[in-house]
Structure 1
């Protein structure tokens, strides 16, 4: 696993229903990537936390299953605590994090890809 991280700041990649499908499809595709290409961390900020939490805003069943599989592969799943609290959600996969920790990870990473 390389020192790279993915950051989701939305529950969609693009707009509308298609954007929601693309986000879940993208996460699902990561499960098939060779271990040396997997990110160390997938970080969820803002509406992105709706993909990694139990919430009443979206149906994220497929995303949660995929994130559980990524976690089994050694990918750390992190959700912004402030964002989770804002949406009244509860972490379903991974753990809570904060801005200081996220900045430390991003500034020390070789690569950070944001959606």
Structure 2
């Protein structure tokens, strides 16, 4: 019997039946939001992720790269917000090479590990990419 694959089950495939919001990807490139004072940037990122966790349907996937992976590890003051997002159906992905670089793979508390091949696939097929 031929197996029919639903495109929604394939990572990175743009699916016409999903709304643009359901295909939006948030690319988090660091543990701070904006440039300038690091303390302010950390407070802004905390506020951003808290407020994002309080809204549904803003993004479908969050990709953490570079020091952004530090947001998803043990001891992070925003890991609870990422967990809330994951429980609501948002996929949280952390860069494999970045976790290894910071030597924190074993401290990952939320989401799954991905590689740059998958990141490129997600970004190139997303309806919208929001980079912070």
Q: Tell me, yes or no, whether TM beats 0.5.
A: yes
In the alignment, structure 1 residue 30 sits paired with structure 2 residue 52: yes
Whether 1:68 aligns to 2:56 is no
Aligned to 2:97: 82
Q: Which runs of 5+ in 2 are unaligned?
A: 1-20
Secondary structure at the residue paired with 1:6?
Answer: strand
Name the counterpart of 1:100. Answer: 117
Which TM-score applies when normalising by structure 2?
A: 0.77
Pairwise CA distance, 1:71: 0.5
Give distance in 1, aligned partners of 2:116 and 2:42.
Answer: 25
Query: Quick check: which one's strand share is greater?
Result: 1
Report if the CA contact (8 A) 1:38-1:75 is conserved.
no
Does residue 1:113 correspond to 2:100, yes or no?
no
The structural deviation recorded for 1:31 is: 1.6
SS of the aligned residue for 1:27 comes to helix
Choose which of 66, 69, 74 in structure 2 pairs with 1:46: 66
Which structure's CA Rg is the greater one? Answer: 2
Aligned-CA RMSD value? 1.2
1:69-113 Cα shifts (integer Å, max 9, x gaps): 000100000000000010010321000000000111111100001
